[in-house]
Amino acid sequence: MSSSPQPVVLPPGGIERRADYYPPDSVNFILSLGRALHSFGYEAHRLEEVLGLAASHLGIEAQFFSTPTSIFAAFGRLDKQRTFLIRVEPGDVELGKLALIDRVVTSVLHGEVTPSAGSERIAEIAAGRPRYGKVLTTLAACVASGAAARFLGGGLTEILVAAGLGFVIGLLALVAARYAAMARVFQPTAAFSAALLVYVAGALIGPFGVFTATLAGIIVLVPGLTLTIAMTELSTRNLVSGTARLSGAFMVFIGIAFGVALGNNIGGQIFGAAIPSDPVALPAWTNIVALLTAPVAFGILFQAHPDDGPWIVLTGVLAFYGSRLGAVAFGPELGVFVGALTVGVTSNVLARLRDRPTTITLVPGLLILVPGSIGYRSLSSLLDREVVLGIETAFRMILIAMALVAGLLASNVVTPPRRL
């Protein structure tokens, strides 16, 4: 729906007050845009940049400050500012809705749609139902965990167990979406359930790679993407948002580690100690299958449009092989840098060629690289009282996260990102 822009109506008092007056429709559009982008996973520096760009196009003097749970927006000159506070609960990334909002913003800034109509359209998009239903998203969690098991070197048994754990976690996520009390303890509860079910699987099918299956099964819980965003915000000097998000990721790690430890303890008492076994190696082509299916699963979990599927897979493949080749040439940390640089450059180029948000291919591609599993290994070692190994692994996680962030920032220098 489009309509011609409405003429600006001056406030009582005439032209002398024009510099301090901004049409309410334009202000409301910017606030609605900020709330929607924040809810769908925009990081602080990117959110502030987009809102500033929108305000500039609409002829509004404004300043913005974003945290993981709120947005401050101040309109007008410093001595006559009008400030708004928007309280926002951190939401899940929804790539399909971000793409739709991007089109609305472009239409408004080009004068094709009025700010009022743009606000209405953003509200409709935000209130819309998820693109993929409960069954498909649950199956996507199952596939993501199974693919992660293959990436971690698991055999067929580990892949099947991890996929089963991912399916159970997907079911628990559906319950958590309906009950607020469950949502507050979702990660520890899901991790506990996964760890306990690993013991059940061990009693039924015999020895297998318990650690690999457990880690792959809970991979959808690990806040690797949150950790990466936090490090990016700290690197771009959004210190408040970055510190808060980093603290949130750390608390999730602790909750997951506690749930796994409790599940292991209870499972061990009921079924006896787990008998570890090395995974049975699979042919190399199974790694390619996992690499092709994992980005598709991530795209479904993040509610991406089907048209973006091939490009998400392409970015994921380039991320994986870019990091592997970089690791062979320069070591694991610089390998992640090369992978992130590849993801960033590819996403920026695709965003310009397809006139779509960079985030659509960037986020799924990053999930191939994020160091969340290393963070879980660190906490697991600390819980097992292997302090030196735990600290060493945590330090390695930080180095990899910084290498990943450096690769993303460098990609914006090599190929400047699309502004919206």
Domain membership flag for residue 73 = yes
| Residue 304 domain-assigned (yes or no) | yes
Mean pLDDT of the 308-332 span: 87
Element (H, E) at 87: strand 82-87
Q: How confident is the model at residue 261 (pLDDT cuts 50, 70, 90)?
A: confident
- With respect to residue 119, please indicate whether it lies within any of the assigned structural domains: yes
Same domain, 194 and 79: no
Q: Provide the pLDDT for residue 30.
A: 95
- Confidence category of residue 384, pLDDT binned at 50, 70, 90: low
94 plus 158 within the same structural domain: no
Whether residues 264 and 387 fall in one domain: yes
Work out the burial of residue 171: count CB atoms within 10 Å of its CB; fewer than 13 is exposed, 13-18 middle, 19 or more buried: middle
Is residue 111 domain-shared with residue 180, that is, in the same domain? no
- Report the pLDDT averaged over residues 341-346: 92
Q: Which residues contact 269 (CB under 8 A, 6 or more apart)?
A: none
**Domain termination site, one of 92, 127, 162:** 127
Q: How confident is the model at residue 388 (pLDDT cuts 50, 70, 90)?
A: low
User: Angle between the 44-57 and 24-39 helix axes, to the nearest 10 degrees?
Assistant: 160
Average pLDDT of the chain to the nearest whole number: 84
Residues whose CB is less than 8 angstroms from the CB of residue 274 and which lie 6 or more positions away in sequence, other chains included: 198, 199, 202, 210, 264, 267, 268
Residues 98 and 215 both lie in one domain:
no
Asked if residue 59 belongs to a domain, the reply is: yes
- Do residue 386 and residue 344 come from a single domain? yes
User: Residues 284, 138: one domain?
Assistant: yes
Task: Assign 86 to helix, strand or coil.
Answer: strand
Task: Flag whether pLDDT at 387 surpasses 60.
Answer: no
Q: What is the pLDDT of residue 15?
A: 37
> pLDDT per residue over 17-74, tens digit each?
444 568 889 999 999 999 999 988 788 888 999 999 999 989 899 999 999 899 999 9
Mean pLDDT lowest among 8-12, 181-185, 240-244, 360-364: 8-12
Are 32 and 98 within one domain? yes
For the segment 217-246, the average pLDDT, to the nearest whole number, is 85
Model-level pTM? 0.84
Q: Is 175 found in the same domain as 95?
A: no
Cβ–Cβ < 8 Å for 388, 327: no
10 Å CB burial of residue 110 (0-12, 13-18, 19+) is exposed
Query: What is the percent of the chain with per-residue pLDDT over 70, rounded to a whole number?
Result: 88
| Residue 172 domain boundaries | 134-414
pLDDT of residue 396: 73
- Whether 12 is in a domain gets the answer no
| Rounded Cα gap, residues 333 and 155, in angstroms | 26
Domain count, the chain: 2
Burial bucket for residue 70 (CB in 10 Å: 0-12, 13-18, 19+): middle
Q: Which of 66, 93, 127 is the last residue of a domain?
A: 127
The whole-number pLDDT of residue 166 equals 93
388 occurs within a structural domain: yes
Q: 318 with 368, same domain?
A: yes
Rounded Cα distance between 337 and 120, Å, is: 41
Of 112, 127, 142, the last residue of a domain is: 127
- Taking alpha carbons only, the member of 322, 369, 372, 350 closest to residue 95 is 350
3-state secondary structure 24-83: HHHHHHHHHHHHHHHHCCCCHHHHHHHHHHHHHHCCCCEEEEEECCEEEEEECCHHHCEE
Q: For residue 4, tell me if it sits in a domain.
A: no
111 shares a domain with 188: no
| pLDDT at site 3 | 46
Residue 270 and residue 264: Cα distance in Å, rounded? Answer: 10
Torsion of CA 128, 133, 137, 138, to 10 degrees: 140
pLDDT in tens, 137-169: 999 999 999 998 898 888 899 999 999 999 999
Residues 179 and 116 in one domain: no
Instruction: Give a yes or no: residue 274 inside a domain.
Output: yes
